[in-house]
A = this chain, B = another copy of it.
Amino acid sequence: MPDFPADFFAAQLRAAAVKVTRPRLRVLACLGRAAKALTHAELEEQFAAEAAGTLDRVTLYRVLDSLLDCGLAQRTLDARGVYRFELNSVRAAHAAHAHFHCQHCGGVTCLEQMAMPAACLPAGFVARQIEVEVRGLCAGCAGGGR
């Protein structure tokens, strides 16, 4: 995860013609610090632990929406059907390789060595990202469990 300079996020917000507010900066900082994409609930927890105090549920949803709108963050669904939010810059690195999803323990493993297919689309279609997910059993669950 890259380390972000102090005023980095504020500059990004200004560049996107979006107001620079404390909640937005807090969310960006938190997402920048996180190793993984976070759910709304996880973000809320983080803020509750911070000295700056809790952040309203709805505000958090709306902040995240605004970050999606201006292209700073992206949203994906996890295995439970819950949205996870991630800085776009961080996400780009993860889109580049396949992921393994264990159907038993739910764990996710990066498959960096696996070849990604080339997009082969009908005329007029534009590809922005390709996601490959392999499902099955991880070493731990295949050996012992189920």
Contacts and interface: CB of A to CB of B under 8 A. Distances in A.
A131 B133 contact: yes
Contact of A119 (B114, B121, B139): B114
Given A81-B81, A83-B81, A124 B136 contact: no
Contacts of A111: 120-121
Interface string A26-43: 000000000000000000
Interface residues of A, number: 40
Contacts of A122: 109, 139
Contact of A135 (B77, B116, B131): B131
A118 B98 CA distance: 11
Question: By DSSP majority rule, is chain A's interface helix, strand, loop, or mixed?
Answer: mixed
Interface in A91-144: 98, 100, 103, 109, 111, 113-140, 142-143
Contact of A142 (B77, B113, B126, B137): B126
Contacts of A70: none
Nearest to A112: B120
A82 interface: yes
Contact of A82 (B81, B113, B116, B137): B81
